[in-house]
């Protein structure tokens, strides 16, 4: 079984001006991240606009990326859907293409109760051998899972082996990592709390900023695991303004897409109704990138 640890950029879905997926751009970006030495990548996540993609596009994204990667790095696939049946269908498709894991947030429109969330993951876990990453993000799903519920799912659903914690509550990361050791790994999902999460036991980061500074987020993780905390904190301090901009703007998809273009990779517009950056936001991004380049990224 593939070991899933480290900083995993959660990729955008590059698009043309006609709002179609730029498949050559997808392949180019994949090879860029492999060349940067990242631990792995995530596709069809929130940053990849999965809620704005059709079923056929999501399926084709999985087939295209897994073929292009060719086993060089692990690929985690976002397989969330509004119903258990659809989630199982997406998860099985990812498994058929030999993904390393499935990232699953609870249904995000119906705001399920905790017992409904439990049965959702129990049912998905029972029909796949793919490692499942349970995803707690109250800002996008409208549901903030309790620590007790995540413990229960992690312990009783055999294939739920990872948890991405994005609530911003560092005590949840601490309790899950310490008390769940041996049952599941915990990944940070809050861009501004990465070092704090590593410090309390997180073993990875599903990283939006990793699209823009893949080598820095990789180096930061490696330093933290090697006990080189001064070096890790130094990188944290360098990228924190970018992370804060991503978290606070409400336009993290558009920011990453624009940054990819500015760094010579494939980006393009987000799918409507998302609009591009304002002139002020664009200038702010350029300033942040210039500062990072100044420090030899």
How many Cβ atoms are within 10 Å of 232's Cβ, its own excluded?
22
Residue 164 a catalytic site member? yes
Check 135, 198, 221, 252 and give the catalytic one: 135
Report the alpha-carbon distance of residue 236 to residue 230 in Å, rounded: 10
Report the alpha-carbon distance of residue 97 to residue 273 in Å, rounded: 31
Whole-angstrom CA distances from 54 to 101, 168, 285, 288 are 21, 30, 30, 33
Residue 198 a catalytic site member? no
Whole-angstrom CA distances from 213 to 14, 51, 107, 186 are 17, 25, 31, 22
The candidate with the shortest Cα–Cα distance to 61, out of 104, 14, 19, 18, is 14
Report the alpha-carbon distance of residue 160 to residue 18 in Å, rounded: 38
Check 164, 172, 251, 257 and give the catalytic one: 164
Query: Which are the catalytic amino acids?
Result: 135, 164
């Amino acid at each position: 079984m593939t070991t899933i640890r480290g900083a995993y950029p959660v990729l955008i879905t590059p698009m043309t001006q006609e709002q179609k997926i730029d498949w050559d751009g997808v392949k180019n970006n994949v090879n860029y991240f492999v060349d940067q030495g990242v631990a792995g990548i995530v596709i069809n996540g929130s940053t990849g606009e999965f809620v704005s993609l059709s079923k056929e596009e999501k399926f084709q994204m999985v087939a295209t990326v897994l073929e292009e990667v060719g086993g060089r790095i692990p690929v985690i696939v976002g397989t969330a859907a509004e119903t258990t049946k659809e989630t199982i269908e997406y998860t099985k498709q990812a498994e058929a293409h030999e993904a390393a894991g499935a990232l699953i947030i609870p249904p995000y429109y119906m705001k399920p109760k905790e017992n409904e969330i439990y049965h959702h993951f129990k049912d998905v876990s029972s029909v796949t051998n793919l490692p499942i990453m349970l995803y707690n993000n109250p800002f996008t799903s409208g549901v903030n899972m309790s620590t007790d519920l995540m413990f229960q799912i992690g312990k009783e659903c055999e294939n739920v082996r990872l948890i991405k914690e994005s609530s911003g509550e560092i005590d949840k990361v601490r309790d899950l990592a310490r008390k769940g050791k041996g049952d599941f790994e915990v990944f940070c999902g809050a861009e501004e709390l990465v070092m704090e999460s590593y410090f309390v036991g997180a073993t990875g980061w599903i990283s939006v900023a990793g699209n823009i500074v893949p080598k820095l987020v990789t180096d930061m993780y490696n330093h933290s695991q090697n006990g080189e905390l001064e070096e890790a904190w130094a990188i944290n301090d360098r990228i924190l303004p970018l992370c804060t901009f991503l978290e606070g703007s409400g336009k993290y998809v558009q920011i990453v897409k624009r940054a990819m273009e500015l760094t010579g990779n494939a980006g393009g517009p987000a799918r409507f109704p998302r609009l591009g950056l304002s002139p002020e936001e664009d200038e702010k991004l350029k300033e942040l990138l210039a500062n990072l380049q100044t420090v030899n990224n």
